[in-house]
Amino acid sequence: MTLLRFAPSPTGSFHLGGLRTALFNHLYARKRSGKWLLRLEDTDRERSHPMYIGNIRESLEWAGLNYDYGPGADQSLGPYTQSERLDLYLKYSSKLLNSGHAYRCFCSKDRMADVREKLARLGSNETYDKACLHLTDEEVARRVKAGEKHVVRLNNERLPKRPEPADIVFGQLKDAHLSLPTDPILVKTDLFPTYHLASVVDDHEMGITHVLRGEEWLTSLPLHLDLYACLSLKPPQFGHIPILLNADGTKMSKRGTGAFVNDYMREGWEPSSVLNWLALTGWGAQHDASSSVQEGQVAGVASNTGAAGKPQEPVVQQAPDSTAIFTMDELINQFDVSALTHRRTVLDSKKLEYLNHHFLMRALDDPRKQKALADELGAIVREALPGCDE
Ligand code: GLU
């Protein structure tokens, strides 16, 4: 069964980009008669807050994006909050330590920062000098027994051979490993995993078949595929969704108001028009087929030949107009991941106004919706003009 996951970190108000990622997960899962789950990635202990979990759930509910598994839904793949799954990550970390794919590093934060700075000054791409890679087993055991704080790092020198990563949206990635840190940290001194280990373990344990997530994680894909290879696990297929831009070309995530789902809820926008607007941003452009990876190819093992060994033409579906109006069922029906562009796209608020107008007109044909709108309007007027209905 196709199973996707939406895995936000509850570290701030829920963003429009997050809502779009959730929507694409929903559309992709439903299109394939599959399911999706909500997983809360709260391994950043300083920044995570339960208040933001509430905000994510309320936003998804407002938008009508109903996940199949997650808090308040089917519990059979849970727990869905990473801080409740720590034993699992330590189990996988032990596997990596035992097989020599990872090692313990006792360097202090200050030493790590010094080394990183020195290496950068020398013009090196390395970010750590691997000082702890060569500690003897006896010394490691002694320091662990003494309770010395340490992290667990991936051992880049012991990586199994693996192909260049491939992405459903961005295609085959070239030299992708060059941007990775030296021997990335997998477990922190507080015994919490880093995002990388936790997401790989959870995607595997939960049986995720496809990962659709934000472009900001594309650079981590090679590391994730390394982890799958070290653990001899089959990776899911990956697709990264391009970052949303403001009209002036800056990243939407850097914007204050207008970037959070809360703003749209409070201002009374029709959820369906917000979803249409988000769905067709980055979907409305002609897809650049030359670099695409076809669905069905597994990330990391993509090939350009079909079953008969003949090169296959990517299937390109004409993308819909970005102001076309779709119900959720129509969106699901039309959604085709191969029609997603990998270029960053501007979220144009004029289009939302246009879509909202059309959704409201359509809604006014429905007597139940008429009543709901009248009630909403009444509440706004009463708030603005206290005592007006006395
Ligand atoms: N927790 C990550 C975030 O909130 C999502 C990463 C992922 O989907 O793999 O950005």
Tokens of 186: 């997998």
- Beta carbon of 9 within 6 Å of any ligand 1 atom: yes
Which residue minimizes the CA distance to atom 2 of ligand 1? 8
Q: If you measure from the C-alpha of residue 78 to the centroid of ligand 1, how many angstroms do you get, rounded to a whole number?
A: 17
Please indicate whether residue 85 or residue 322 has the higher confidence score (pLDDT): 85
State if residue 240 touches ligand 1 by the CB under 6 angstroms criterion: no
The alpha carbon of 80 is separated from its chain's Cα centroid by a whole number of angstroms, namely 15
Of 235, 236, 231, the residue nearest 102 (C-alpha): 231
Q: How far is the CA of 39 from the centre of ligand 1 (A)?
A: 9
> Is 244 strand, coil or helix?
strand
pLDDT at 324: 79
Quick: pLDDT tens for 95-149.
Answer: 999 999 999 999 999 999 999 999 999 999 999 999 999 999 999 999 999 999 9
pLDDT over threshold 50, residue 92: yes
Of all atoms in ligand 1, which is nearest to the CA of residue 9? 4
Nearest-atom number in ligand 1 for the CA of 6 is 8
Count of positions (residues) in the chain:
390
**Closest-CA residue to 333 (of 10, 23, 12, 28):** 28
Mean pLDDT of 375-380: 82
Q: Does residue 76 carry a pLDDT above 70?
A: yes
Which option is the CATH number for 3-245: 1.20.272.10, 3.40.50.620, 3.90.1150.10, 3.90.180.10? 3.40.50.620
Write down the pLDDT at residue 360. Answer: 85
Q: Is 246 in the pocket of ligand 1 (CB under 6 A)?
A: no
Banded model confidence at residue 150, pLDDT cuts 50, 70, 90: very high
The structural domains of the chain, with segments of one domain joined by +, span: 3-245
pLDDT of the residue at 292: 42
Is 238 in a helix, a strand, or coil? Answer: strand
| Alpha-helical segments (H) within 231-366 | 261-266, 271-279, 328-334, 349-363
Given a cut of 90, whether residue 318 has pLDDT beyond it is no
Q: What percent of the chain has pLDDT over 70?
A: 88
CA–CA gap between residue 145 and residue 227 (Å, rounded):
27
- Output the CA 7–ligand 1 centroid distance in Å: 5
Ligand 1 atom with the shortest distance to the CA of 203: 9
- State the closest ligand 1 atom to the C-alpha of 199, by its place in the atom list counted from 1: 9
Average pLDDT over residues 321-340: 83
Tell me how far apart the alpha carbons of residues 120 and 184 are, in angstroms, rounded to a whole number: 16
Residue 208 near ligand 1, beta carbon < 6 Å: no
pLDDT, residue 334, reads: 86
Q: Is the pLDDT of residue 73 over 60?
A: yes
Q: Is the CB of 7 under 6 A from ligand 1?
A: yes
Band of residue 176 on the pLDDT scale cut at 50, 70, 90: confident
Q: Where are the alpha helices (DSSP H) in the chain?
A: 16-31, 50-63, 86-98, 109-121, 137-145, 195-205, 221-230, 261-266, 271-279, 328-334, 349-363, 367-384
Mean pLDDT for all residues in the chain? 87
Distance 264 CA to ligand 1 centre (A): 22
Q: Which of 16, 41, 252 to mutate to test the pocket of ligand 1 (most atoms within 8 A of CB)?
A: 41
List residues with catalytic annotation: 254
- What residues pair up with 151 in beta bridges, in sequence order? 105
**Ligand 1 binding pocket includes 62 (Cβ within 6 Å):** no
Question: Is residue 213 lining ligand 1, measured as CB closer than 6 Å?
Answer: yes
Q: Is the pLDDT at 309 greater than 50, yes or no?
A: no
Are the CB atoms for 71 and 53 separated by under 8 Å? yes
Q: Could you tell me if the CB of 20 is within 6 A of ligand 1?
A: no
